[in-house]
Amino acid sequence: MKKRKSYLKNFIFFALLIFLTFYIMLKDQDLLGIFNILKSAQIKFVLIGIGCMFIYLALESFNLGRTLKNLNEKTTPIKNLKYSFIGFFFSSITPAASGGQPMQVYYMHRDNISVANSTLALLINLSSMQIVTISFALISVIFNYQYLTPVLIVCFIIGLMLNFSALMLLLIGICSKKMSRGLLNFALKVLRFFRVKNIEEKREKFEEELEKYHQSAIYIRNNKILILRTLFVTLIQFTFYYSITYWVYRALGFNQYKIMQIITMQSVLFATVSGIPSPGAVGVSEGAFMEIFKKVYPKNMISSAVLLSRGINFYLYVFISGIVTIINHFVRKKIYKDEGEEGIII
């Protein structure tokens, strides 16, 4: 019972954040008018946006799978996609997205993937994402500075600094044995938070994996083509993700702004809020969206745009990834029971 309460408290906090965000955003709005605007949205563009979000997660799983394959790990595209959904879910409901990668490592370990190699693959993915986020935003802000208020400029600078700091930690984690040990200890603490069983028994095995990790890290650092391919796919991945905002713009009946204008504005928005230590950047993302895009949408349409955009690129996929995580939990639990092992209880 205590194990379930720990997970439930985290989810309740996340739900409370969502409730407060939408209460503040909608309390002075014409709710019927917003509903009518959303109802009139062109479904074909909504579906394109939903598809772009799926491609975003699929490309993440593609990068992950390719790195694992290069490290001689056996996995499948379906399993890689499952890891992406699980990571998205736990990142969304934990502060600073701190729960995503440790839970991915755990589930990959249960699928007989080396902790050392899964950790390294995830660090490479995260480093690539940070590089693309920072680079995309720095280029984009040149063309979109006029949409930033003084407060948003400060938030943008802070966001870039946080993302750059995270990138430095990730690169050190890939190259430094001491740092990677610290990251592993942090992952174990997160797994304890989610009440994963038998963590202490696994610690010694995880320690042994560190040596394998550093041998793999040397291989990756010497395989520059793999890194370049990962960066290229990540760039495409984030282009699809940022384009969701454009498809929402088209769904609501607008076409004045071109797709690259909206994509670059969204990249600035993402860099501004992605470093905020709030589960899923809930509240911050919605507020920043309304500020950055207030010149793009009429005043009576901006709330509808926020709801539809965040609904597609976040809330819908939190729901879907939650279902994937629950299904995987019960499927794996049955397998462990059949094999006489114990599964994860969260």
Q: Lowest mean pLDDT: which of 112-116, 121-125, 178-182, 221-225?
A: 178-182
Mean pLDDT of all residues in 39-66? 95
- The pLDDT-based confidence of 189 (bands split at 50, 70, 90) is confident
- Report the mean per-residue pLDDT for the chain: 81
- The pLDDT-based confidence of 276 (bands split at 50, 70, 90) is confident
> Does residue 344 sit within a domain?
no
pTM recorded for the entire structure? 0.81
Mean pLDDT of all residues in 238-248? 97
Q: Supply angle C-alpha 16, 20, 24, rounded to 5.
A: 175
- The more confidently predicted of residues 178 and 295 is 295
- The pLDDT-based confidence of 177 (bands split at 50, 70, 90) is low
> Does residue 20 sit within a domain?
no
Task: Assess whether pLDDT exceeds 60 at residue 5.
Answer: no
> Does residue 345 sit within a domain?
no
Domain span at residue 41?
Answer: 2-15+30-338
Residue range 208-237, pLDDT digits in tens: 666 666 666 677 777 889 889 999 999 999
The token pair that represents 208 in the structure block: 């042994």
- The pLDDT-based confidence of 322 (bands split at 50, 70, 90) is confident
Residue 297 pLDDT: 92
- The more confidently predicted of residues 181 and 105 is 105
> Does residue 24 sit within a domain?
no
Residue range 56-73, pLDDT digits in tens: 999 999 999 999 998 889
Q: Which region, left, alpha or beta, applies to residue 96 given φ > 0 means left and ψ of -120 to 50 means alpha?
A: left
> Does residue 288 sit within a domain?
yes
> Considering the chain, what percentage of its residues have pLDDT values greater than 90?
33
Mean pLDDT of all residues in 187-192? 69
Residue 345 pLDDT: 38
- The more confidently predicted of residues 202 and 175 is 175
Task: Assess whether pLDDT exceeds 70 at residue 196.
Answer: no
Classify residue 205 as exposed, middle or buried by CB count within 10 Å of its CB (0-12, 13-18, 19+). Answer: exposed
Residue 9 pLDDT: 62
> Does residue 300 sit within a domain?
yes
Residue 319 pLDDT: 87
CB 244, CB 46: distance < 8 Å: no
> Does residue 346 sit within a domain?
no
Q: Lowest mean pLDDT: which of 87-101, 128-142, 272-286?
A: 272-286
Mean pLDDT of all residues in 63-89? 93
Mean pLDDT of all residues in 127-137? 93
3-state secondary structure the chain: CHHHHHHHHHHHHHHHHHHHHHHHHHCCCCHHHHHHHHHCCCHHHHHHHHHHHHHHHHHHHHHHHHHHHHCCCCCCHHHHHHHHHHHHHHHHCCHHHCCHHHHHHHHHHHCCCCHHHHHHHHHHHHHHHHHHHHHHHHHHHHHHHHHCCHHHHHHHHHHHHHHHHHHHHHHHHHHCHHHHHHHHHHHHHHHHHCCCCCHHHHHHHHHHHHHHHHHHHHHHHHCHHHHHHHHHHHHHHHHHHHHHHHHHHHHCCCCCCCHHHHHHHHHHHHHHHCCCCCHHHCCHHHHHHHHHCCCCCCCCCHHHHHHHHHHHHHHHHHHHHHHHHHHHHHHHHHHHHHCCCCCCCC
Task: Assess whether pLDDT exceeds 50 at residue 2.
Answer: no
Q: Lowest mean pLDDT: which of 51-55, 180-184, 329-333?
A: 180-184
CA atoms within 13 A on the CB side of 265: 23
> Does residue 21 sit within a domain?
no
- Based on the structure, what is the number of domains in the chain? 1
